[in-house]
Structure 1
Amino acid sequence: MTVAAGPVFSPREIPFSFRGSWFGFSPVIAENTYAPDVHLVSHQTGMHPVLRLIPTAGGVRAETTLSATPHELTWTCDDGRIGLAYETPDTVRVRGEGLGLHLVAADPVLTPFSGPYFYADPGDGSWVFTVYQTGRRYRVTLLAGHAKSWGEQALGTTVRGVALRGDEPWEIAVEEYETARAPYRGEAGFEQVLVAARADFDSFRDAVAPWRSDRTPGAELAAYVLWSATVRPAGFVTRPAVLMSKHWMDKVWSWDHCFNAIALAGGLPELARDQFRLVFDHQDAAGALPDSVTHSEVLYNFVKPPIHGWALARLRPPEDGETAEVFGLLERWTSFWLTRRRVPGHEFAHYQHGNDSGWDNATTFDPERVVETADLAAFLVLQMRELARLAAELGRADAAAAWRREADRMREALLAELWDGDRFVARSAHTGRTWSSSSLLDLMPIVLGEELPEPVRASLAARIETHLTEFGLATELPGSPGYQDDGYWRGPIWAPSTVLIEDGLRRAGYPDLADEISARFRVLCEKSGFAENFDARSGAGLRDRAYTWTASAYLILAAAHEHRLTPADPREVSGC
């Protein structure tokens, strides 16, 4: 049986994983750290390499070609092949012919190792690695061929592993579990496992990108990035969640999740709602959302910008009975900014650090850290507009009117106090002094679209165009003293700023510029993948190379573009 291949990718760029799984396979074992061999890397309690997978010939390491499709990871050489596929989110099957395989504990100190256990006869055994860092067990069960182990039961530092001989076909199952599990008894053959894995991905892909065509060559791989980074509920992750990556950025940050929700909304509305609601499951008593959520920690040291009203307006309406609950959550989040992040007597809320804005080190924050900025005011205007809409839908006319008044008041203050006649400025929350920068962040009020006077829209659009390189919107004006090619938010192209500004320009009456920004970013992703950010001058992918909000941005922009070319029922596409 032959299974359609789908997109082929390098596990050095994108981890090989499976929807729902908390582990993946990659040579990337820590931030910007590449090992010579693929590792099973778990993301429970953090990012931890667990097992090293070494292909062998004659008992020594073999030089192989490593590649992956959505359903199979393969090592190949002239005389042999190893294939690995997920049977379930916590179990993989591995088979080889002409190549052996060594599975070695990644940590030689803190990995007690037991085995072999024989369930029926000496040919039906398993070995168990108990891993301190993840608090989980990893069982290797021999299904065919012969294996031997070394280092079992040894104390202290020692190499522990299992070796499969390559002079005959072999097959194993590898499982991640907690304390105990019945002996592995796989009923499906390896080919059936491949077919089922491919079908699971295909169903997801068809749901989130039914509009894909030859014009959107990155759509299938973008769908894979989202599908493979999805984990089942565990620990503090209360719902099925799309992590930002199954590299080292293995968290859900409290604005990244909005873009993933929008990308999923058209075809998988329930999963999209889970993405939007996840961070609200950890909303604190003050109404603030956490900075980030992952398996074993929830961080409140920073917040993220209130783009949730903007995002909610682009998601499908809440399910019956959910509107009141969503309204309450969004109202508490908005009130946090207006009561806990506003100096008494001031009109504007403030960021206490660049990290609160999501643009951690943008040059806007160079003069001071506690700053009233135009982007924050604009996001809050949109969020209050969404609260007014939800209140009206709930029949709460007084609340709807009150939120409309608050939105009007902040918009008018924004134009009166932070617009200097030529550009928006930032203002110290302590002293009231103002300044401007060359950061794209200063131009983010374009998200208000038609709410801005035409001269303001025109000025913002003209300045945005100066940030547009061959590859997309540089977050710092190229040529400014603060620009850095790999400067995080001081130059590189980012997905969220691209999507927000593209949407704002379109609503502000600048569709041609919006089209150009969309087109350049889509081509960038098709060329350079779905990196955390990109060098604005060369287009090279930077930092984490498998970032889901980048894949989501591609899907959002591509879906909207395809819809403009071929109008259809808007429920069939995601996008702004």
Structure 2
Amino acid sequence: MTVAASGPVFSLREIPFSYRGSWFGFSPVVAQNTYARDVHLVSHQTGMHPILRLAPSADSEVTATPHRLTWSRADGRIDLAYENADTVRLRGRGLGLSLLAADPVLTPFSGPYFYQDPADGSFVFTVYQTGRRYRVTVLAGQAEARGTQALGTAERGVVLSGEWEIAVEEYETARAPYTRTDDFERVAEAARAEFDAFTAAVAPWRSDRTPAAELAAYVLWSATVRPAGFVTRPAVLMSKHWMDKVWSWDHCFNAIALADGLPGLAWDQFRLPFDHQDEAGALPDSVTHSEILYNFVKPPIHGWALRHLPPAAEPEKVYRLLERWTGFWLTARRVPGRELPHYQHGNDSGWDNATTFDPERVVETADLAAFLVLQMRELARRAPDPSAAARWSGAADRMRDALLAELWTGDRFVARGAHSGRTWPSSSLLDLMPIVLGDELPEPVHTALAARIAAHLTAFGPATEHPESEHYQDDGYWRGPIWAPSTVLIEDGLRRAGHAELADEISARFRGLCERSGFAENFDARTGEGLRDRAYTWTASAYLILAAAHERRHEQRGERRHEQRAQPADTPA
């Protein structure tokens, strides 16, 4: 990542070019770990679908900044900018462009149909996969249409040459003909101003000490979509690559990152999964445009997250939602007669394949109990009356006491099979996550956890599997790589437990990792290489959360030094 006067410059192979509110973006990434030669318009309505292929008439260099996408060579240039969430403008000077259907095959149940609208002369792709239309309106220059009304396999699209300009829109069934209201440069500058305002809101503290803050803000801004389908609120998707959903713990980190500067958008992130809470009180595993999945859940970190959010506009509503979510764990996920709840699969924990779940899958784990203790503490704090507060405080005490009595061995936490009742340790960082309880843990317990966490540290942060474990894998998902959520939760718990020096070190290493390797879904713990989806919003949010806190501490230390210097020297007797 480099920074130019117009903002950070980034690779489209890492981060798609998009715009706040839009359901499409521009990227050569056309499927999971699949990279095309040309940049594509990729829509995320009804899933991830490459729609249009943008092929310049000659080899050219592609450059992306938050407000402008450019193809350039010595004798020509193409620029692209968003006019609004569903419309982009493109112009070319000395470099032509073929704008072609990404899928050349049309069948009754797949592919694009391409025609010229006799009403206004525009060219329209109607695409089965998204159920949307993509209209190309020629504003200037020469345009040659290919494959209009063709059936079967054909090249379909528009070839532009000379000095040209077009508008491309995504819409449903029909809309008025496109009308140009501003020239291209004003469109691009308006997009830049919108992004700059977003960055100023979410990262007003940014400085030379936080060089990746602006790009982190762009990852969030560009992955935001407007309400559509099952997405009931403005939502930050986890990515506008293939991880184009909202999972029911990922959203918490995005909410926290937005909380100070954009509290309304932050609360939208927090509330979105609760809009789909089921009758049992459970949250869905994930929500996206055309799908809600309930086959798994995600860990109840929502009480912890609420500690980092501003006051709610509907506090009683938030209390009731959290009460139902907590009640699900206390009723549907406890063996009769036992105090501690269980996961039914590693996916429920968010740590899908962590080695904690190797012996058995239906497991009582220490992290789950710790999260619920925090959640019940938050319910007690928000309770509408003293009796409810006392009830939740008592429930939290009982679960904390059971956690320590039943899963703490004297130097570590173990997991317990919900069916078998047997216990086992693992070399997974998951076993150390009760550090989120902070100073609610006895001093010997949090001190022992801190020492074990330190043993997981590589040069880049806490590996999710101990680096010396026989089960460690460099690209093993939760069996080795560094992840943003575990890092933020651990850093916060360590700090509240009084282990500030270790928390500072973890924060510094993870921030340095993002500044070096971007905002990948996870990172190789040994090399720092970004892995899997390379534009993951909870990673960008983790950077913003840690960087903002670091800057606040830096400012506070400076204020203390200033106060000390300002104090008069003691006068000798």
Per the shorter chain, which TM-score range?
over 0.9
User: Which residue identity lines up with residue 389 of structure 1 in the other structure?
Assistant: R
Query: Which residue of structure 2 aligns with residue 357 of structure 1?
Result: 349
Shift of 1:169: 1.1
Instruction: Give the conservation status (yes or no) of the 8 Å contact 1:112–1:154.
Output: no
1:98 aligns with 2:94: yes
Q: Decide which moves more: 548-557 or 155-164.
A: 155-164
Residue identity (%): 78
Shift of 1:114: 3.8
Give the TM-score normalised by the residue count of structure 2.
0.95
Secondary structure in 2 aligned to 1:169?
Answer: strand
Instruction: Give the conservation status (yes or no) of the 8 Å contact 1:112–1:155.
Output: no
Trace 1:489-528 onto structure 2 (pairs within 5 A): 489-528=478-517
Query: Which residue of structure 2 aligns with residue 296 of structure 1?
Result: 290
1:433 aligns with 2:439: no
Give the TM-score normalised by the residue count of structure 1.
0.95
Instruction: Give the conservation status (yes or no) of the 8 Å contact 2:114–2:157.
Output: no
Secondary structure in 2 aligned to 1:7?
Answer: strand
CA distance in 2, matches of 1:98, 1:257: 44
User: Which residue identity lines up with residue 450 of structure 1 in the other structure?
Assistant: D
Trace 1:398-477 onto structure 2 (pairs within 5 A): 398-477=387-466
Secondary structure in 2 aligned to 1:566?
Answer: helix
Query: Which residue of structure 1 aligns with residue 37 of structure 2?
Result: 36
Query: Which residue of structure 2 aligns with residue 199 of structure 1?
Result: 193
Shift of 1:109: 1.7
Instruction: Give the conservation status (yes or no) of the 8 Å contact 1:113–1:151.
Output: no
Shift of 1:567: 3.2
What CA deviation, in whole Å up to 9, does each residue of 1:9-48 have, x standing for no partner?
A: 0111100000000000000000000000000000000000
1:254 aligns with 2:240: no
Secondary structure in 1 aligned to 2:401?
Answer: helix
Match of 1:132 among 104, 128, 133: 128
Query: Which residue of structure 2 aligns with residue 326 of structure 1?
Result: 318
User: Which residue identity lines up with residue 211 of structure 1 in the other structure?
Assistant: W
- Aligned-pair RMSD on alpha carbons? 1.0
Query: Which residue of structure 1 aligns with residue 560 of structure 2?
Result: none
Trace 1:67-82 onto structure 2 (pairs within 5 A): 67-82=63-78
Runs of 5+ consecutive residues of structure 2 not aligned to the other structure: 558-573
Trace 1:164-203 onto structure 2 (pairs within 5 A): 164-165=160-161, 168-203=162-197
Query: Which residue of structure 2 aligns with residue 574 of structure 1?
Result: none
Query: Which residue of structure 2 aligns with residue 113 of structure 1?
Result: 113
Query: Which residue of structure 2 aligns with residue 573 of structure 1?
Result: none
Q: Decide which moves more: 108-117 or 306-315.
A: 108-117
CA distance in 2, matches of 1:376, 1:118: 61
Query: Which residue of structure 1 aligns with residue 330 of structure 2?
Result: 338
Query: Which residue of structure 1 aligns with residue 85 of structure 2?
Result: 89
Shift of 1:112: 4.1
1:66 aligns with 2:67: no
CA distance in 1, matches of 2:292, 2:317: 22
Instruction: Give the conservation status (yes or no) of the 8 Å contact 1:17–1:229.
Output: yes
Shift of 1:119: 5.1
CA distance in 1, matches of 2:333, 2:129: 38
CA distance in 2, matches of 1:11, 1:86: 16
CA distance in 1, matches of 2:148, 2:201: 46
Query: Which residue of structure 2 aligns with residue 368 of structure 1?
Result: 360
Secondary structure in 2 aligned to 1:567?
Answer: helix
CA distance in 2, matches of 1:53, 1:301: 38
CA distance in 2, matches of 1:420, 1:4: 56
Secondary structure in 2 aligned to 1:146?
Answer: strand
Q: Decide which moves more: 151-160 or 410-419.
A: 151-160
Shift of 1:116: 2.9
Shift of 1:115: 3.4
CA distance in 2, matches of 1:63, 1:226: 31
Secondary structure in 2 aligned to 1:317?
Answer: coil
Secondary structure in 1 aligned to 2:542?
Answer: helix
CA distance in 1, matches of 2:119, 2:73: 34
Runs of 5+ consecutive residues of structure 1 not aligned to the other structure: 57-61, 569-576
Secondary structure in 2 aligned to 1:145?
Answer: strand
Secondary structure in 2 aligned to 1:186?
Answer: coil
1:163 aligns with 2:159: yes
Q: Decide which moves more: 75-84 or 235-244.
A: 75-84
CA distance in 2, matches of 1:67, 1:503: 37
What CA deviation, in whole Å up to 9, does each residue of 1:286-312 have, x standing for no partner?
A: 000000000000000000000000001
Secondary structure in 2 aligned to 1:493?
Answer: coil
User: Which residue identity lines up with residue 457 of structure 1 in the other structure?
Assistant: H
Instruction: Give the conservation status (yes or no) of the 8 Å contact 1:113–1:127.
Output: no
Q: Decide which moves more: 4-13 or 374-383.
A: 4-13
User: Which residue identity lines up with residue 404 of structure 1 in the other structure?
Assistant: S
